[in-house]
Amino acid sequence: MSFPRYPKYKYSGVEWLGDVPEGWSIVPLKIAAAVAVSGIDKKLKDDEKRIRFLGTDTVYSSERITPEIELEECSASDEQIRSFTLLAEDVVVTKDSVVPTKIAVVSYVDQPPEQAVCGYHLALVRSHPQRAVGLFLFYSLKSTALASYFLSEARGTTIIGIGGGIIGKAAVPLPAFPEQTAIADFLDRETGKIHELVAEQRRLMELLKEKRQAVISHAVTKGLNPHAPMKPSGIEWLGDVPKHWKVMKLKRVTLSRCDGPFGSGLKSEHYCDEGIRVIRLQNIRSGQFYGRDSAFISPQYYKELGDHSVVPGDLLIAGLGDENHSVGRACVAPSNIGPAMVKADCFRFRLNSKLASASYLALQLSTTANALAGALSTGTTRGRMNLSASETREIVLPPLAEQLDIIEFLETELAKFDTLTDEAQRAIDLLQERRTALISAAVTGQIDVRTAHTENLTS
């Protein structure tokens, strides 16, 4: 990317800022704005007034604060309300985090929600009307230079944080007031274009996800032959299936099955760094085993629990679900699983390999999980299915050779979707990098926005 630059530069005197345009001043943030750390907690107290508050989760997820933002309720004193009520052009900075990369995440108040305050773990930055433009300070705090400063000053192990004094000492390059406005408007316009391009790629990823699921669903419930004679399956939500496929219960092709040990038999305090792998709900994704989240117990304790073993090729079914992960979803234990067992609410089915492919059934069971959840599961906030209900699930089974053909077809087709999805994600990553570079360059004067040809900056 080629940026138009200012005619002359000077050394800022700050190592992580480098050179800035001649004529710009470098000031601590506390000179350009009032910086105050909020102590308003969400715990309710009877002797204080109830009021809505902006919390860290909202700041992490929303760059712009508007009246439509969902807020929680807390209690606060009159003084706290006077000091921390959100106003237009305020900037809110997170000062505590459990994730190092989330130090000093910022949000800008476009339009304040009616009577809402800046909550705990946050600092409120309010620009001085004659010295700084709030939107310019927002973009300044998003620059890589300021991010580097905050990260270098952060302290802590479990909770990593920066104090209000650290935020106030942050060196901010400050051009003349009208130029701050021009830079802020420029960045609003150009980052808006990038935001739209990112949104397009995300819409594409959603369409690819839907199409991918449709291809899987059709293959494992209708087969690959569009001209195959069909028959009613007898299952309302499934409809017709190929005439030569068999409709049966999962237990008909099962050699053995087990649940994990009863709740108190296996707790987090039993886990250790190595030993017998414990397969948990988070490892069972729809048609895929998620191996990054691992837990182990000692071989000695495993022997006390009885047989809950898992070997490569076993079918794994989740007996608990939520809005993001359906109850009844299934996957296959991978070849590199090692010595392993299932935890409570995770079911292991060892299949008759002469009749059924675990890979085929994992996809079919995951595809039909949403339809089945209401019929076979219990629970309100989280769907639950027990082992007995799982083994009575209806499956439609082509001959084994046809199952393997379907798996081979899907491996090829899904690889195409994965490639397109990866390309879309790379495009998003590149656009976000470009956005960060654009912000950092503009607020430190590495772009002269007065002469920038903006059509070249986001293309």
328-365: pLDDT as tens digits: 999 999 999 999 999 999 999 999 999 999 999 999 99
Higher per-residue pLDDT: 3 or 194: 194
Q: For the sheet containing 33-37, what is the strand order?
A: 33-37, 122-127, 91-94, 106-109, 64-65
Q: 106: number of CA atoms within 13 Å, CB side? A: 24
pTM for this predicted structure: 0.83
pLDDT of residue 225: 96
d(CA 16, CA 387): 59
User: Is residue 164 within 8 Å of 36, Cβ to Cβ?
Assistant: yes
Which structure tokens are listed for 155? 């302290």
CA neighbor of 143 nearest in space, from 178, 183, 192: 183
For 240-269, what is each residue's pLDDT tens digit? 999 999 999 999 999 999 999 987 788 888
- SS3 letters for the chain? CCCCCCCCEEECCCCCCCEEECCCEEEEHHHHEEEEECCCCCCCCCCCEEEEEECHHHHHHCCEECCCCCCEEEEECHHHHHHHECCCCCEEEECEECCHHHCCCEEEECCCCCCEEECCCEEEEEECCCCCCHHHHHHHHCCHHHHHHHHHHCECCCCEECCHHHHHHCEEEECCHHHHHHHHHHHHHHHHHHHHHHHHHHHHHHHHHHHHHHHHHHHHHHCCCCCCCEEECCCCCCCEEECCCEEEEHHHHEEEEECCCCHHHCCHHHCECCCEEEECHHHEECCEECCCCCCEECHHHHHHHCCCEECCCCEEEECECCCCCCCCCEEECCCCCCCEEECCCEEEEEECCCCCCHHHHHHHHHHCHHHHHHHHCECCCCCECCHHHHHCCEEEECCHHHHHHHHHHHHHHHHHHHHHHHHHHHHHHHHHHHHHHHHHHHHCCCCCCCCCCHHHCCC
Taking residues 388-413, report their average pLDDT.
96
d(CA 105, CA 31): 21
pLDDT of residue 457: 47
Q: Whose structure tokens read 């895929």?
A: 288
Taking residues 140-168, report their average pLDDT.
90
User: Is residue 274 within 8 Å of 419, Cβ to Cβ?
Assistant: no
User: Is residue 11 within 8 Å of 18, Cβ to Cβ?
Assistant: yes
Taking residues 310-330, report their average pLDDT.
93
**What single-letter amino acid sits at 443?**
V
d(CA 437, CA 459): 14
pLDDT of residue 427: 98
pLDDT of residue 375: 53
pLDDT of residue 455: 47
d(CA 160, CA 153): 10
CB contact set of 427 (below 8 Å; sequence gap of 6+): 197, 201
pLDDT of residue 382: 64
Query: What is the average pLDDT value for the chain, to the nearest integer?
Result: 91
Which structure tokens are listed for 305? 């629990």
Taking residues 272-287, report their average pLDDT.
94
CA neighbor of 365 nearest in space, from 335, 331, 401, 392: 331
pLDDT of residue 365: 95
Taking residues 50-70, report their average pLDDT.
92
Task: Inform me whether the pLDDT recorded for 230 exceeds 90.
Answer: yes
d(CA 84, CA 76): 10
Measured CA to CA in angstroms, residue 210 lies from 216, 282, 414, 431 at distances of 10, 22, 12, 24
User: Is residue 28 within 8 Å of 168, Cβ to Cβ?
Assistant: yes
d(CA 121, CA 363): 44
User: Is residue 251 within 8 Å of 311, Cβ to Cβ?
Assistant: no
